[in-house]
Amino acid sequence: MSSTQSFDVCVIGAGPGGYVAAIRAAQLGKKTCVIEREYLGGVCLNVGCIPSKAMISAAHFLEKLRNDAPEMGIEIKTDGKSTAKPVDINVNMKKLVTWKQSVSERMASGVAQLLKGNGVTVIRGEAEFSSANELKVRTSGDGKSDIITVTAKNFVVATGSRPIEIPGFTIDEQKVLSSTGALALDEVPKRMVVIGGGYIGLEIGSYLRKLGSEVVVLEAGATLLNGVADRECVQVVERKLKKGGVQVMFNAKAKSYKKNGSQYEIEYESVGKIEKIKCDKILLTVGRRPNSDQTGLKKIGVLIDERGFIKVDAQRRTNLKHIFAIGDIAGQPMLAHKASHEGVLVAEVISGINRAYDVKTVPAVVFTDPEIASAGLLESECTSRGYTELMISKFPFAANGRAVSLMETDGFIKIIADKKTHVVLGVHMVGPEVSNLISEAALAIEMGARVEDLAFTIHPHPTLGEVMMEAAEATLGHAIHVIQKPLSRAETANGATVTRT
In the set 318, 340, 374, 393, which binds another protein (CB under 8 A)?
Answer: 318
Measured between alpha carbons, how far is residue 303 from residues 126, 134, 179, 350 in Å? 21, 18, 29, 20
Active site residues: 461
Q: Does 337 bind another protein (CB under 8 A)?
A: no
The per-residue DSSP string of 156-215 comes to EE---EEE--BTTB---SSSEE-HHHHHH-SS--SEEEEE--SHHHHHHHHHHHHHT-EE
Between 81 and 321, whose beta carbon lies closer to another protein?
Answer: 321
Over the window 267 to 306, marking each residue x when it contacts another protein by CB under 8 A and - when it does not, the resulting string is ------------------------------------xxx-
The per-residue DSSP string of 14-41 comes to -STTHHHHHHHHHHTT--EEEEESS-TT
Do residues 10 and 96 touch, judged by C-beta distance below 8 A? no
Q: How many residues bind another protein (CB under 8 A)?
A: 40
What is the number of other CB atoms lying within 10 angstroms of the CB of residue 70? 16
Q: Does 493 bind another protein (CB under 8 A)?
A: no
CB-based contacts of 432: which residues, under 8 Å, 6+ apart? Answer: 370, 371, 397, 403, 406, 408, 410, 411, 464
**Beta strand 390-396 pairing with 323-325:** unpaired
In the set 136, 162, 175, 355, which binds another protein (CB under 8 A)?
Answer: 355
**d(C-alpha 382, C-alpha 417), whole Å:** 9
In the set 356, 404, 480, 498, which binds another protein (CB under 8 A)?
Answer: 356
In the set 53, 136, 311, 419, which binds another protein (CB under 8 A)?
Answer: 311
In the set 207, 309, 395, 397, which binds another protein (CB under 8 A)?
Answer: 309
Do residues 156 and 21 touch, judged by C-beta distance below 8 A? yes
In the set 386, 483, 485, 494, which binds another protein (CB under 8 A)?
Answer: 386
Half-sphere exposure of residue 306, counting CA atoms within 13 Å on the CB side? Answer: 0
In the set 35, 127, 279, 310, which binds another protein (CB under 8 A)?
Answer: 310
Between 318 and 400, whose beta carbon lies closer to another protein?
Answer: 318
Over the window 450 to 489, marking each residue x when it contacts another protein by CB under 8 A and - when it does not, the resulting string is x---------------------------------------
Over the window 417 to 446, marking each residue x when it contacts another protein by CB under 8 A and - when it does not, the resulting string is ----xxx----------------------x
Do residues 294 and 319 touch, judged by C-beta distance below 8 A? no
Q: How far is the CB of 420 from another protein (least distance, A)?
A: 8
Do residues 375 and 426 touch, judged by C-beta distance below 8 A? yes
Q: How far is the CB of 385 from another protein (least distance, A)?
A: 6
Between 211 and 323, whose beta carbon lies closer to another protein?
Answer: 323
CB-based contacts of 109: which residues, under 8 Å, 6+ apart? Answer: none
Quick one: 230 exposed, middle or buried, by C-beta within 10 A (0-12, 13-18, 19+)?
buried
Q: Does 307 bind another protein (CB under 8 A)?
A: yes
In the set 173, 187, 293, 313, which binds another protein (CB under 8 A)?
Answer: 313
Between 366 and 424, whose beta carbon lies closer to another protein?
Answer: 424
- Residue 464 DSSP code: T
In the set 48, 331, 426, 477, which binds another protein (CB under 8 A)?
Answer: 331
Do residues 411 and 229 touch, judged by C-beta distance below 8 A? no
Between 440 and 466, whose beta carbon lies closer to another protein?
Answer: 440
Residue ranges that bind another protein, judged by CB under 8 A: 303-305, 307, 309-321, 330-333, 338, 354-362, 385-386, 421-423, 446-448, 450
